[in-house]
C-alpha cells in the first residue's frame, strides 16, 4: 500500500508540474530559465534525516552531531531543474562515532517561477552499519528572490523511508533553503 501511495503521489506531482509549466509566466527575471544553474544550501528543523545533504548541528546531553552538504542543479527547461546533492556528517563522540556520507538525486520544479516543488531519492552510507537508509523525498515551499542571483526558500519536506530494515518511519521537516542562481 505504501509503494502504491508513493507512485500515485509522484505521478500526480509530475502531472501537476507539467500542467503548471504550460500556464506559467516568468515573473522572477529569468533565475529559473532553461540553461541556468542552481546551488543550494539547506537547513532543517524537526526530525533529522540520516541522509542529509544540508547543514545541521545538534547537541544533546554532551553529544554533538553535525552535517555539511550542498545541492546543485541545472535547468533543463524553464522552471525545471535536475539536481544532485552530497553531504558528510558525524554523530559525535558519545558511544561509537559513525561518519555518514549522503547523496541525493531529483528534480525541482518552480510553479509560476516562484513555488518550488521537489521530488528526490536520497540515501546514506553509514560507517560500520549493516543497513543504510534510503528515502523518497517530497518538498514544497516558496521562493523569495533577493535580486537576480539569490533566493531564500522556506518550505516543508517529508522523507518516506524506502528501507524498512533501517527504519519504517517517515521524517517531517521544516526547511529554509538558500540558493544561488547563475
Mean per-residue pLDDT, 74-86: 98
Confidence of residue 23 (pLDDT cuts 50, 70, 90): very low
Q: What is the pTM of this model?
A: 0.79
The pLDDT of residue 45 is 76
Worst-scoring range by mean pLDDT, 8-12, 91-95, 96-100, 151-155?
8-12
Domains within the chain, CATH numbers bracketed: 2-181 (2.40.160.20)
Confidence of residue 9 (pLDDT cuts 50, 70, 90): low
- Rounded CA gap, 129 and 120, in Å? 23
What are residue 179's DSSP bridge partners? Answer: 40, 151
Neighbours of 182 (CB within 10 A): 9
**Which of 100, 6, 106 lies closest to 50 in space, CA to CA?**
100
Per-residue model confidence as pLDDT tens digits over 119-161: 999 999 988 888 888 999 999 999 999 988 999 999 999 999 9
Torsion (CA) 53, 58, 64, 65 in degrees, nearest 10: -20
Confidence of residue 96 (pLDDT cuts 50, 70, 90): low
Confidence of residue 93 (pLDDT cuts 50, 70, 90): low
The pLDDT of residue 61 is 84
Mean per-residue pLDDT, 2-31: 52
Amino acid at each position: 500500500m505504501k509503494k502504491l501511495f508513493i507512485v500515485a503521489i509522484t505521478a500526480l506531482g509530475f502531472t501537476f508540474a507539467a500542467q503548471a509549466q504550460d500556464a506559467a509566466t516568468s515573473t522572477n527575471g529569468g533565475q529559473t530559465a532553461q540553461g541556468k544553474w542552481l546551488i543550494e544550501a539547506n537547513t532543517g528543523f524537526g526530525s533529522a534525516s540520516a541522509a542529509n545533504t544540508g547543514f545541521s548541528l545538534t547537541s544533546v546531553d554532551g553529544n554533538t552531531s553535525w552535517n555539511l552538504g550542498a545541492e546543485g542543479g541545472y535547468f533543463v527547461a524553464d522552471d525545471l531543474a535536475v539536481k544532485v546533492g552530497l553531504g558528510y556528517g558525524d554523530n559525535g563522540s558519545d558511544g561509537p562515532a559513525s561518519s555518514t556520507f549522503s547523496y541525493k538525486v531529483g528534480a525541482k520544479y518552480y510553479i509560476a517561477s516562484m513555488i518550488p516543488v521537489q521530488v528526490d531519492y536520497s540515501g546514506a552510507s553509514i560507517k560500520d552499519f549493516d543497513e543504510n537508509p534510503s528515502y523518497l523525498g517530497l518538498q514544497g515551499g516558496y521562493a523569495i528572490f533577493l535580486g537576480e542571483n539569490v533566493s531564500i526558500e522556506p518550505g516543508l519536506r517529508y522523507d518516506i523511508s524506502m528501507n524498512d530494515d533501517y527504519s519504517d518511519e517517515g521524517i517531517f521537516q521544516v526547511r529554509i533553503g538558500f540558493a544561488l542562481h547563475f
